[in-house]
A and B are shown apart, each in its own frame.
Chain A
């Protein structure tokens, strides 16, 4: 059974810092990996999707990398801002035909002004 782990569970940084959020998964036979942002009491916002054959995706200040063979992905946030404060979730879809996302428990990020 696929397990997705995110470390750290919580992170507090001063504004302007570059930071890295980590995601690991136990079964490397993934179809794709998606990073989401969740604000308190709100739904999930899709940030980036990396298909299994890709190595990275970029959107603005965000860069997500994928090392499928080692079961790891990182989300890099450049020049963090207070508005980046949220919980960041990674999720994978297995390459088994089942299109359900398996989620990690998230990293709660606080960017201090």
Chain B
């Protein structure tokens, strides 16, 4: 199994540019999570999907952030326009369902730097 795949692994962009992060969950998993990790705030959930439907987006910081899951094998997180404070590592995770025994498996992350 290839695990959760994220691209790009590193992204450097200038303030005001649009950034799109991509995630391919583990095959067969039907729950997908986007987390953000910063030194100041640690790891925090942004949004999660169950069966391609957004369930909880309360962690999305503001309207500049949007996420989609057009099918079971692909999700995007878009930031438009980007700001320096968006610099962080963005992780995608997936699980098979959301039961009490369902572990979340994380991808390698995308390190975003906004100049």
Contacts and interface: CB of A to CB of B under 8 A. Distances in A.
Chain B interface mostly = strand
Contacts of A61: none
A1 interface: no
Contact of B103 (A34, A43, A106): A34
Contacts of B70: none
Contacts of A105: 42
Interface in A68-96: 89, 91
A33 B22 CA distance: 27
Contacts, number: 54
Given A100-B33, A103-B42, A44 B106 contact: yes
**Contact size range, B:** 20 to 34
Given A34-B103, A43-B107, A51-B101, A100 B45 contact: yes
Interface of B: 4, 31, 33, 35, 42-45, 48, 50, 55-56, 59, 91, 93, 98, 100-101, 103-109, 111
Interface of A: 31-32, 34, 36, 41-46, 49, 51-52, 89, 91, 98-101, 103-106
